[in-house]
Structure 1
Amino acid sequence: MYKIDEIFDIKKHDIISITGAGGKTSLMASLALSLSKKGRVLVTTSTKIALPKEGFDRLFTSFDAYFDDKDAKIICLGEKVPDKDKLASIGYKNLSKIVGDFDYVLIEADGCRNMPLKFRYPHEPVIYDFTTRVIGILPIKIMGKVTKDDFIYNYQGFSKNIGTGIIDSKIINKLIAYDKGFYKGFEKEKYFFFNQVESKSDFYRIEEFKKEFNFADIKLRYGSLKEGKFYEN
C-alpha cells in the first residue's frame, strides 16, 4: 500500500485537476490533508463545488477577499454562488495570478450532481493549461450495474456515445478513451483512479479490469478513500 500522494507521483508545485464522478471532492480533501504535511495547499474549482464545511484552515468565498495567509496550510477559494451552498470558479486569469503562492494546487474540474457516473457536456471538464496532472476517478461499485438514467449524469449522452447494458471493462475503457472526457485536451501526466475498492469482489473486478486496461499514457491506480488504502497497478 502507498500514501495517497505517492500513488499519483505528486511533486512540489504540481497543479492537479480532478475529473470524473464518485469521489472527486473526497479525493481532493484527502490529497489536501496529505500534501499539507509537505507544504501549503490551495483547494479550488474550475467549475462548481459544494461549499466545504471542513478540511481547510481558511476559506475565501471571493477572489477579492483573498490574501496570501502564510499561517494557513490549506486554503479553499472560490466565488460564492448567490443563494446556494456552492462555490464557483474564480476564473483562469485570477487563478493563474496566485498559483505561485502555494506548493500544491488542487482543482475540481468536473461536475456530476452527486451521481456515480457521467458523460460530459461540451463545456466539461474545464482543465486549465497550467495543470500538470489530471486524475480521473470513478467508483468500482458501478461495475456490473445496468446503465440507467437514475445514476448516470447526462444519460442521453452516455447511451449515445458510450452504450448501454451492463457496465463492464469494455464500457469503462470506452469512457476513458473518449477524447472529450476525463482528459479533454490534456497531454501531460494522466492517472485513472478506481475508488471504493474494499471487498474481495472489488479486488477481483480490478484484476479483471487490469487485463483490458491498455492506455500507455494513463497510469492506473485504485483503492479506498474511505479506508485510506491505496495501490498502484
Structure 2
Amino acid sequence: MKLHVALGVSSGDVAAFVGAGGKSGAILAVSGGLTQEGMKVLVAPTTKMLSSEADGLGPLVTSEDPGDLRAKAERALSTATAVVVGSGMLSKNRIGGVDPEWVGDLAGLADVVLVEADGSRRRPIKGTADHEPAIPDVATLVVAVGNVHALGTPVDEVHVHRPTIFSDLTGIGQGQSITPRAFAIALSQGSLARVPKRARTAALITGVEPGRTMSDAAVITRELWRLGVKNVVLASLSTESPARVWIP
C-alpha cells in the first residue's frame, strides 16, 4: 500500500506533518505516490527545511513576498509535477519556511499541498512547545509522526527534542525510559494538541520493520487508540527503497 493511501491523502487536501522522526521522509513518500497518480504537489514548509530534502522533491522557488511566491510557484508547476516553496535561503543548506497564512492562497495551485509544520532537530520524538507546531488554518489533515526507535530510550537531549517539555507532558522524568504510553501522549496531546477544527488527524509510526519494532509499534498503536487517535499507520521509510506501509 502507498503511504498517501494509508493516510487518506487525496486531491484537495492540505496535509500538515508534525512531530519528529520521519516527517521529511513521509512527505517524500507521499509526494511520490501522488505524482505517480498524475497529481500536482506543492510542498510548503512552515519551518526550516534542509535544501537536501527539497532536492529530492522537486524544484525550489523562494520569495519573501506572498504574491511573488505564488506567481513563481505557478510557473514552476506548469512544467514540474512537484514544487517546493520557501521564504528564502537562510544559509547554503537551509530554506526558510513560509508564513502559515500564505498556504491558503498557494493551495489552489496544486492538487495537494504538503506542509512540514514542525521542527525536531532529527530526534525520533519530541516535546511540543506552546508556539508549535506551525499548522496552517486551512489544513485538512494533520499527521503526527514519531519513530518507534524512541521507545525505551532515555528522556534526554540526545534522544528527545525539547526533553523538559516532553517530561512535563508525559510524566516520564529526565533520564527515564520512554514508554509506549508516553510515546502516544507525545503525539496525541503534544503534536496534535492544536489542530484546526475541521482537520482530520492521523499518527504515523516510522522505523518499523517486521519483528521487534513491529511488535513495539503495535503496543504504541493500542495506546494511541485509547487516547482517541484512531487512524494509525506504520511505515518503513528509506531513500534507498520504496516505503513499506502497514495499517494495524
Alignment-mate amino acid for residue 49 of structure 2: I
Q: TM-score, normalised by structure 2?
A: 0.85
Equivalent residue number for residue 205 of structure 1: 216
Q: Give the share of equivalent positions with the same residue, in percent.
A: 21
1:177 aligns with 2:195: no
Q: Deviations for 1:69-107, whole angstroms, at most 9, x for unmatched residues?
A: 311100011022333522222223433222101001000
CA distance in 2, matches of 1:9, 1:54: 25
Unaligned residue ranges in structure 1 (runs of 5+): none
1:128 aligns with 2:123: no
1:28 aligns with 2:27: yes
Alignment-mate amino acid for residue 209 of structure 1: I
Equivalent residue number for residue 12 of structure 2: 13
1:55 aligns with 2:66: no
Q: Could you say what secondary structure the match of 1:194 adopts?
A: strand
Equivalent residue number for residue 189 of structure 1: 200
Equivalent residue number for residue 234 of structure 2: 222
CA deviation after TM superposition for structure 1 residue 17, in Å:
0.1
Equivalent residue number for residue 140 of structure 1: 148
Higher helix proportion (structure 1 or 2): 2
1:68 aligns with 2:74: yes
CA distance in 2, matches of 1:68, 1:4: 26
CA deviation after TM superposition for structure 1 residue 217, in Å:
4.7
Q: 1:218 to 1:129 in 2, by over 3 A?
A: farther
Unaligned residue ranges in structure 2 (runs of 5+): none
Alignment-mate amino acid for residue 237 of structure 2: L
Q: 1:47 to 1:30 in 2, by over 3 A?
A: same
Equivalent residue number for residue 166 of structure 2: 158
Is the contact made by 2:203 and 2:229 (CA closer than 8 Å) also made in structure 1?
A: no
Name the stretch that deviates more: 55-64 or 185-194: 55-64
Q: Could you say what secondary structure the match of 2:129 adopts?
A: coil
Q: Deviations for 1:152-197, whole angstroms, at most 9, x for unmatched residues?
A: 111122222322222111111222332x533413342100011010
Alignment RMSD (CA, Å) = 1.9
Alignment length (residue pairs): 231
Is the contact made by 1:183 and 1:190 (CA closer than 8 Å) also made in structure 2?
A: no
Equivalent residue number for residue 87 of structure 1: 95
Q: Could you say what secondary structure the match of 2:142 adopts?
A: strand
Q: TM-score, normalised by structure 1?
A: 0.91
Alignment-mate amino acid for residue 231 of structure 1: W
CA distance in 1, matches of 2:227, 2:96: 32
Q: Which runs of 4+ in 1 moved over 6 A?
A: none
Q: 1:7 to 1:229 in 2, by over 3 A?
A: same
CA distance in 2, matches of 1:93, 1:204: 40
- Structure 2 counterparts to residues 98-117 of structure 1, below 5 A: 98-117=106-125
Is the contact made by 1:134 and 1:183 (CA closer than 8 Å) also made in structure 2?
A: no
